[in-house]
A = this chain, B = another copy of it.
Amino acid sequence: MRKEKRIVVSKDNKTPFHNNVDFCIGTGRMGLALTQEYQEQLKLVQEQIGFRHIRGHGLFCDDMAIYHEYEQDGVRKAEYNYTYLDRVMDFYRSVGLRPFLELGFMPGKLARGTQTIFYWKGNTTPPRDYKLWCEMVQNLLRHLMDRYGADEVVTWPVEVWNEPNLCGFWENADMQEYFRLFHEAFHAVKEVDCRFRVGGPAVCGGTDEVWIRAFMEYCSEKKLAVDFVTRHHYTIEQPVREGHYDYVKLMKPEDGFDNLKTSRDIIDSFEVYKDLPIHITEFNTSYTPKSVIHDTNLNAAFIAHQLSRLGDGNESYSYWTFGDVFEEQGVPFTPFHGGFGLVADGCIPKPTFWTFVFYKKLQESAGTCVYRDDNMVVLRKPDGSYLGVGWNPVEFGAGEEQSITLSLAAGDGVYSLLTETVDEETCNPLKVWHDLGEPANPSDGQTKLLRQAAQPFVQTCRVACAAAEVEITLLLKRNAVVYFELRKCGIQSDRGYDYERAVGGNDGE
């Protein structure tokens, strides 16, 4: 059953909408940035979306091979190896990215304990010697400043550790130990150059009262002029595992937004930290890299809604992650395995990829938001053209099919309407892969076909303005995300060209 909705946008509409979609994107651990598939996927993302920062784990993990010790004349000494670090940073810069540096995890040689996390065994224990750890951080920053210039490197935000409120990520989830780590890091980094911006505590959602408040109190007490606060944001209930895969149930969106609001309120309750920027340094629907939902059109539509709201109280929000080269739970058996990525292995854009493409277009338009609700956001550009995104996540939207008619204030003339549709029928590589038999190792031809089936469906038409209004109708099918542009555009046919006659079939008159 199709629901119908009518929206009137007058000349004076104006709605707040903080769209910072391109600020940051998540990534699998830094060591994976050395691989070809990772680089191909990130190139695709940067060409079509173009993020500004990238954040992930593993800067100091052993596969980056940064920290070493040796004995000389009976004394243990540290030495640093930046061979891989520079290779990764050179690559990031070649695709227009700056790191959002996460200081973690712990080099084996510097660790107090042996606890590790993930298939790739990141050590998640505190340093056995904070002085050595601070020296390592400082040496690394100075090396980066030598190589890339101090003015450049100080623009890279620094976040201390990841999710210390979980005992897998930080031994015993020891809050006081984390505060010490933060304190040491804060001073060490600022000592290198006081222009660096440093933040934390990078906690997962739902711990506001415990961790966020305690963190602000700690900073306040120690008079740390922390530059920003970070937290994460996932929107599912506990997943259910079957074999390699997780099946999840989405939370109601408003519950998630309320949760974010709590963080904002707590921070603002500290006079000195009021309006301090919050960076959501990770968000997605599900928080496991084998969650089948990530590959679906539902995910794309749900995230479209998120992107319309996450800027409300937060400076930025970083989707976790750009691609499926990830490995936290091992090497995937198939291209569509529910990885976090916007892009599946084989450089196949998933539906959610396009959600980001569309919001980036909104951002680049420099338009003003003139309408926003739970299914749509509409912008008007200074030249009077409109653009917007609509979405229809089946359970939280308006059902199987929704028809939205926009009546847009406009000047006389004829308009050109462009829509790009991503829904289960038009842009659904997961279905194609399934119909091909779910090949674990697609052939080149199959991969090419999957890429072809992963493009938005483009349609155009011409619309006339009547009575200072242009009326257009968007059809949002099940789990659709639809982008549109409407701009005034006469037709200046070349001498002798008559389109209607050209396509009118078979006549020479």
A residues with a Cβ closer than 8 A to B are: 34-37, 39, 65, 70, 79, 81-84, 86-87, 90-91, 143, 147, 236-245, 247-250, 292-293, 295-298, 330-334, 337-338, 345, 394-395, 416-418, 424, 426, 430-432, 434-438, 440-441, 443-444, 449, 452-453, 455-458, 460-462, 489-499, 501-503, 505-509
Contact = CB atoms under 8 A, between A and B. Distances in A.
A436 to B, nearest CB: 6
A461 B490 contact: no
Most buried by B among A36, A292, A452, A493: A36
Contacts of A452: 455-456, 458
Contact of A82 (B236, B243, B440): B440
Most buried by B among A70, A244, A509: A244
A443 B82 CA distance: 13
Q: Which 9 A-B pairs have the closest CB atoms?
A: A243-B496, A435-B460, A292-B502, A243-B495, A249-B508, A65-B331, A242-B496, A437-B489, A453-B458
A306 to B, nearest CB: 15
A67 B239 CA distance: 26
Contacts of A79: 333, 495
Contact of A460 (B292, B436, B502, B505): B436
Contact of A505 (B395, B440, B496): B395
A245 B500 CA distance: 13
B35 A247 contact: no
A258 to B, nearest CB: 19
A424 to B, nearest CB: 8
Nearest to A439: B492
B508 A238 contact: yes
A502 B458 contact: no
A35 B35 CA distance: 4
B509 A81 contact: no
Given A34-B35, A247-B501, 5 more contacts: A36-B36, A83-B334, A147-B441, A292-B502, A434-B499
Contact of A236 (B81, B441, B508): B508
Contacts of A461: 435
A441 B86 contact: yes
A460 B430 CA distance: 11
A77 to B, nearest CB: 9
A483 to B, nearest CB: 12
A395 B508 CA distance: 14
A83 B345 contact: yes
A494 B453 contact: no
A146 to B, nearest CB: 9
Contacts of A434: 491, 499
A143 B439 CA distance: 13
Nearest to A449: B458
A244 B495 contact: yes
A361 to B, nearest CB: 10
A426 B298 CA distance: 23
Given A458-B453, A492-B438, A497 B334 contact: yes
Given A35-B35, A241-B496, A494-B333, A247 B502 contact: yes
B250 A506 contact: yes
Contacts of A70: 243, 495
Given A36-B39, A496-B243, A499-B434, A394 B505 contact: yes
A490 B437 contact: yes
A91 B36 contact: yes
B508 A237 contact: yes
A417 B449 CA distance: 13
A334 to B, nearest CB: 5
30 contacts: A34-B36, A83-B331, A83-B441, A84-B331, A143-B441, A147-B441, A242-B498, A244-B496, A245-B497, A247-B508, A247-B509, A250-B506, A295-B502, A297-B503, A334-B497, A337-B494, A338-B502, A416-B435, A430-B499, A430-B503, A431-B460, A434-B491, A435-B462, A437-B490, A437-B492, A438-B492, A440-B492, A449-B458, A453-B458, A455-B455
